[in-house]
């Protein structure tokens, strides 16, 4: 099964016949986007949504608080609670502010995902 999946992946990844392009403009301001680029942009946009959306931020905070509740040592539990309440929102803000799908997919230009 794994060999079959790997074989199919290699065919799609190496064959230029499957690299269809779109010539029309899109909301990213780029032209001639391959389906790999579109997939990269869509995946990165979804990941950015999961980092920036307030609902998911609440889920991450709740998960971190529950994780801290499992710690048996009170001293370590207090440290965990402090870091969760103080630093986790800052970490999520930092990740969300630098997570720009267009830049990420253009960085992987050597992989032929997106080009301007």
**Domain-located, residue 116:** no
Cα separation, 61 vs 85, whole angstroms:
8
Query: What local confidence, expressed as pLDDT, does residue 111 receive?
Result: 56
**Domain-located, residue 52:** yes
60 against 100, higher pLDDT: 60
Domain count, the chain: 1
**HEC profile of the chain:** CHHHHHHHHHHHHHCHHHCCEECCCCCCCCCCEEHHHHHHHHHHHHHHHHHHCHHHHHHHHHHHHHHHHCCCCHHHHHHHHHHHHHCHHHHHHHHHHHCCHHHHHHHHHHHCCCCC
Domain residues for 51? 2-111
Query: What local confidence, expressed as pLDDT, does residue 21 receive?
Result: 42
pLDDT at 75 over 90: yes
């Amino acid at each position: 099964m794994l060999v079959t999946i790997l074989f199919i992946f290699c065919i799609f990844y190496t064959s230029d016949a499957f690299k269809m392009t779109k010539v029309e403009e899109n909301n990213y301001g780029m032209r001639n986007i391959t389906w790999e680029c579109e997939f990269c942009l869509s995946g990165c946009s979804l990941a950015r949504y999961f980092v920036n959306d307030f609902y998911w931020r609440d889920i991450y905070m709740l998960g971190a608080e529950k994780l801290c509740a499992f710690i048996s040592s009170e001293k370590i539990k207090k440290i965990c609670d402090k870091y969760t309440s103080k630093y986790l929102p800052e970490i999520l803000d930092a990740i969300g502010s630098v997570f720009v799908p267009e830049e990420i997919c253009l960085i992987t230009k050597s992989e032929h995902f997106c080009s301007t």
